Amino acid sequence: MNVREAVLTVDETQTNFLEQGPSLIERAARTAAAAAADADGVDRDARFPHKAFEVAREQKLLGVMIPVEFGGFGASIYDVTDICYTLGRACASTAMIYAMHQTKVACVVRHGHGIPWMETMMRRVARDQWLLASSTTEGQNGGNIRASAAAVDHAGDTVSLVRDATVISYGAEADGLVTIARRATDAVASDQVLLALAKDDYSLKRTLGWETLGMRGTCSTGFELKVDCPADRVFPESYDKIHAQTMTPFAHLCWSSAWAGIAAAAVTRAQAFIRKAARSSGGQMPPAAAHFTAAKMSLAKLRALIAANIDAFDRAEHDERALGSLDFQSSITLLKVQASELAVETVMHAMRTAGLSGYRNDGEFTMGRHLRDVLSSPIMINNDRILANAATATLMSGVPMSLRD
C-alpha cells in the first residue's frame, strides 16, 4: 500500500490534517509556545505540563509516528527529533516527556505490526492521542534496564506482574504504559519481554515522590505497578532485540535532541545578553564574549553529532544486520554520553557569558532553569554505567585507518 492509498483508509478529519493542515514543525511551534508560557510554573510547582500537552493533542503531535494506515502521520525519525528539539527550546520537561512517549510509540510501531492489540494501541494513540509512559527503572537496579527482577506470571490467556517501579515518569498522567519484565518466574534476569498496556490493564500505588533539582515537570515518581491483563499485551519478540533495534536508538536520539534544544535556548539568551551589552557600550564586546563563542561551538558540535547519528539510524533502520553491528550499537549507545556532556558544557558557557545576569532567577537572561534541567542528562541512565558497559565492545572495535573509514 502506497501513502496515497493509505490516506484514503483514514477518516476525513485525518485526511484534512494530512493534506491541508499545518506542517509538523508548525504544529510543534504552536505546542512550544504553550510550553514556554507555562515553563516557569511547571518548574516551580513540579507539575505536569498540562497546557503544553493540551495543545500537543490538538495538534495531533502524540501520534505523528503512527503509520498512516492506522491514523497517524507516518513521521520519520527526522520529524520526531526536530519536534523534540523545538520543545526543548521551550520547556525541558515537555520535551523529555514527549521524547519518552515517542520512544514507546516507536516500540509499538516497529514491533507491533500484525498483532491485533498492538495495532489497536496504534489507532488509540493516533485517534485519541494517548500518552504512553515508560517503566524501565526498577528496585535497586540503578537504571540497568537489561536486568529485571519482576517476572510475568502466566495463567492461561492472562498475565500478571507486580513491579517495584522506582521511577515512572508522568505515570499518573499517562493513558497507557510500556514496561519490561522477566519473561517468566523461572527466567533469568536478562531474559526479558516488553509489555504495552492500556490504563485499564494496571494500577499504580505511589511509593516515592519527585523533589528534584531539575526536570521537575516530568513528575518521575515511584510506584508499585500491578498488572493484570490479557496475554496479548506481551510482545512476541524478545526484549533484547527490541532494545537494540528500537528502544536504545529512539531513546538516545530523542533525548539528545531535547537536550540540544535546552542548550540552544541557553545560547539564545546568551546571544541576547551579548547584543544588549555591546549596544550599551558603543559596540565594544563584553569580557565574557569568549564564552559565547565557546557556547556556539559546543552547540554546533552537539547538533552535528546528533545529525550524524540520525543519518546513521535512518540508513540502517530496516536492516537488522546493520542495526546489530558493533559499530552502530557502540555509536548509538555512546551518543547519550557525548550529547549529555556537550549539552551541559554548552549551557555552562552560555551562563558564564551572561555572568550574574544568567545566574539570577529574576531577569530576562536567567538560565538557572536551563542549567538545572540539563544537569539531569549525564545521570539519566548514568554515563558512568554506560561507559563501563561499553568498555568491552569498544576494545573489540578497530581504530579507523583513515578519516573516511
- pLDDT (0 to 100) of residue 17: 55
Q: What is the DSSP string of 36-57?
A: HHHHHHHHHHT---HHHHHHHH
Q: Report the C-alpha dihedral over residues 24, 25, 31, 35, rounded to 10 degrees.
A: 150
The predicted-structure confidence for 128-172, as pLDDT tens digits, reads as follows 999 999 998 887 665 688 889 999 999 999 999 999 999 999 999
pLDDT band at 125 (very low <50, low <70, confident <90, very high): very high
- Predicted confidence (pLDDT) at residue 14 exceeds the cutoff of 60: no
Q: 287 Cβ partners below 8 Å, 6+ apart?
A: none
CA dist., res. 57 & res. 126, Å (int): 10
pLDDT band at 5 (very low <50, low <70, confident <90, very high): very low
- pLDDT (0 to 100) of residue 6: 37
Instruction: Report the mean per-residue pLDDT for the chain.
Output: 92
The predicted-structure confidence for 16-59, as pLDDT tens digits, reads as follows 555 667 899 999 999 999 999 999 999 999 999 999 999 999 99
Lowest mean pLDDT among 107-111, 233-237, 384-388: 384-388
Q: Where does residue 200 rank: exposed (0-12), middle (13-18), buried (19+ CB within 10 A)?
A: exposed
Q: What are phi and psi of 22, to 5 degrees?
A: -65, 160
Looking at residues 182-194, what average pLDDT do you find? 95
The predicted-structure confidence for 296-318, as pLDDT tens digits, reads as follows 999 999 999 999 999 999 999 99
Residue range 134-233 in CATH 3.20.20.80: no
Q: Report the C-alpha dihedral over residues 385, 387, 391, 394, rounded to 10 degrees.
A: 140
CATH homologous superfamily of 3-130 equals Acyl-CoA dehydrogenase/oxidase, N-terminal domain (1.10.540.10)
- Predicted confidence (pLDDT) at residue 13 exceeds the cutoff of 70: no
Looking at residues 327-344, what average pLDDT do you find? 96
- Predicted confidence (pLDDT) at residue 92 exceeds the cutoff of 90: yes
Residue range 239-396 in CATH 1.20.140.10: yes
CA dist., res. 263 & res. 374, Å (int): 8
Domain ranges of the chain: 3-130, 134-233, 239-396
Looking at residues 245-270, what average pLDDT do you find? 98
Contact yes or no for 22/81 (Cβ under 8 A):
no
- pLDDT (0 to 100) of residue 281: 82
